Chain A
Amino acid sequence: MEKSFLNKKPNGSPGDGAVVVENIVKHYGSNKETVQALRGVSFEVKKGEMFGIIGPDGAGKTSLFRILTTLLLPDGGSAIVNGHDIVKEYKAIRKEVGYMPGRFSLYQDLTVAENLEFFATIFNTTIEENYDLIKDIYSQIEKFKERRAGKLSGGMKQKLALSCALIHRPVVLFLDEPTTGVDVVSRKEFWDMLKQLKAQGITILVSTPYMDEAGLCDRVALIQNGQLLSVDTPQAIIGQYNRPLLAIKAQQMLRLQNDLKQYEDVEDCYPFGEYHHLVMKAGYREEQLRSFLEQHGHHSAEVCTIQPNIEDCFMALMKN
């Protein structure tokens, strides 16, 4: 892990980045049974960036988002959103950010149009004023204008929630796990919408448990157990992966995995889709591996060197 990066003060004045987070700590519960949700998290998001916070459930993503949207007070550290301190200037932040919580948080008994109108008025704006921003998204659900929000499908609810979060043209948009529990098709659509919003100059912070979504962000922070494992562009994170990685496939995958775990040059072996990914120690010999496989009866084994993806990196960082 790159401690030096995390501890370095962000360059320039605090107002520089859209979001500047410094050493945020958050815990829940009483003295005896405290749960550490965030253990000193620092990063900076540049203006206009699409920044992903990637980690499993319980890693601290939601706590972090709630702190940055002024819904929770941190127990330590500080953060600045769009130039405002999250504790002292929470009112200013509330005017300037858009927030879409993890679960669907609109009024189920109001219609699509009523929800949007309501959110427009509470932000002191009108649908007409910012229609151009939400047009592409809202037009997809506009034909269900009179339908109650509770009766919409998952994908449509999401589009409505995003429209509501955008209606006041926020400077920074916080999306807490917008694609969780959503199927692959809707996830793709959603990321396409985010790309368009980014093109409009909105800074976007998005959290997700899906590692494969990392590649869609400009930069990502990998988070696990309340700590950042790494903050960088997806390419750079992959570039830092410093072990040989192989993909391997044979007839009996479960036995293959168990056998390989016994092999001395294997650091880790885990299933990955139709292959197993094999993390090797530096300086391993391919011929030796092949003969090991032969010895154990994996005759038709298919082995090739591969580029790691974010999930490989995440697992490597997790196990460190």
Chain B
Amino acid sequence: MSSDYIITAEHLTKKFGDFKAVDDITFNVHKGEIFGFLGANGAGKTTAMRMLCGLSIPTEGKATVAGFDVYRQTEDIKKNIGYMSQKFSLYEDLTIRENIRFYAGIYGKSNAFIKEKTARLLKQLHLEQEANKLVGSLPLGWKQKLAFSVAIFHEPQIVFLDEPTGGVDPVTRREFWNMIYEAAEVGITVFVTTHYMDEAEYCDRISIMVDGRVEALGSPGELKRSMNAASMDEVFLKLARKATRSAD
């Protein structure tokens, strides 16, 4: 195994009864890469992501995340990744500071570390004034940015983002992507799903899942060239139209 890879998946498969949610997928993610994980609803993205996060044991195949095995070392995986989704991120009835404190506490960070980094983070996000406000009172875009910061607060090797920008306004969406770039700059690998095709372009490499399989893998430019498409939108449509199943 090359040490340059932070995620490796070989013939990874997950079956629910007869149904192959994830069907023999193989791919690697480089360290520090922004990896877009695309696919239509029901293509198997969520199931694959769950296996990589150590939340679900694969039926067949091999995979390692941050060097840990997805079958046996799920606890180690969880310590080394961050996770954020559109649906579940922060506690709305806790303040910004309390949320940060809580999540940092989960990862067993020292008080000094938490204190110092919280101050830095609040400054970065221009949230110093709002630090003691309830998260529920923040606009959605701010919540998502804060949630992302919290997900990488413990300085994980990889962060998994599940549709992080759904419904966010175009300006904040781009600010969010700037944060992703910054995280990648300091060496955090970003594994992200999205429904916005323009966001697919912001990734270093992307994979597109169709019916549980990885049907395309490469940089946005490579994919457009090989599929003879003008935009990622077109690439996606060409691939996804081949899908025969449609279940969530």
Contacts and interface: CB of A to CB of B under 8 A. Distances in A.
Answer yes or no: A and B touching, Cβ < 8 Å. yes
B197 interface: yes
Interface in B147-169: 163, 166-169
Interface string A287-300: 00000000000000
B167 to A, nearest CB: 3
Q: How large is the interface on A (under 10, 10 to 19, 20 to 34, 35 or more residues)?
A: 20 to 34
A305 B96 CA distance: 43
A36 to B, nearest CB: 12
Q: Which of B163, B172, B174, B240 has the most CB of A within 10 A?
A: B174
Given A153-B41, A273-B201, A273-B231, A185 B169 contact: no
B104 interface: no
Q: Which of B167, B174, B201, B240 has the most CB of A within 10 A?
A: B167
B17 interface: no
Interface string A145-178: 0000000011110000000000000000000000
Nearest to A156: B246
Given A153-B247, A315-B170, A319-B171, A183 B40 contact: yes
Interface stretch (B2-10, B19-27, B123-131, B134-142): B134-142
Nearest to B182: A254
A272 interface: yes
B167 A274 contact: no
Contacts of A180: 166-167
B243 A185 contact: yes
Contact of A184 (B166, B220, B221, B240): B240
Interface in A21-73: 33, 55-59
B168 A56 contact: yes
Given A181-B195, A272-B198, A273-B232, A56 B167 contact: yes
B222 to A, nearest CB: 12
A184 B197 contact: yes
A116 B241 CA distance: 28
A318 B248 contact: no
Contacts of A188: 237
B174 to A, nearest CB: 5
B198 A209 contact: no
Contacts of B170: 56, 211, 311, 314-315, 318
B177 A271 contact: yes
A154 B232 CA distance: 23
B248 A55 contact: no
B67 interface: no
B201 A185 contact: no
B42 interface: yes
A180 B86 CA distance: 12
B233 interface: yes
B139 to A, nearest CB: 6
Given A153-B246, A254-B181, A272-B198, A184 B233 contact: yes
Contact of A155 (B177, B197, B246): B246
A270 interface: yes
Contact of A56 (B41, B141, B178): B141
Interface in A271-320: 271-274, 311, 314-315, 318-319
B102 interface: no
A66 B177 CA distance: 33
A196 interface: no
Nearest to A188: B237
Interface in A240-284: 254, 270-274
Contacts of A153: 41-42, 246-248
Given A33-B137, A271-B174, A274-B220, A185 B240 contact: yes
B237 A185 contact: yes
Interface string B188-214: 000000011110011000000000000
A311 to B, nearest CB: 5
A314 B172 CA distance: 12
A57 B195 contact: no
Interface of A: 33, 55-59, 153-156, 180-186, 188, 209-211, 224, 254, 270-274, 311, 314-315, 318-319
15 contacts: A56-B140, A58-B167, A154-B42, A155-B246, A156-B246, A180-B167, A181-B166, A184-B240, A185-B40, A209-B166, A311-B170, A314-B170, A315-B171, A318-B169, A318-B170
Given A154-B42, A180-B167, A209-B168, 12 more contacts: A57-B167, A58-B167, A181-B163, A211-B170, A270-B171, A273-B232, A274-B221, A314-B170, A315-B171, A318-B169, A318-B170, A319-B171
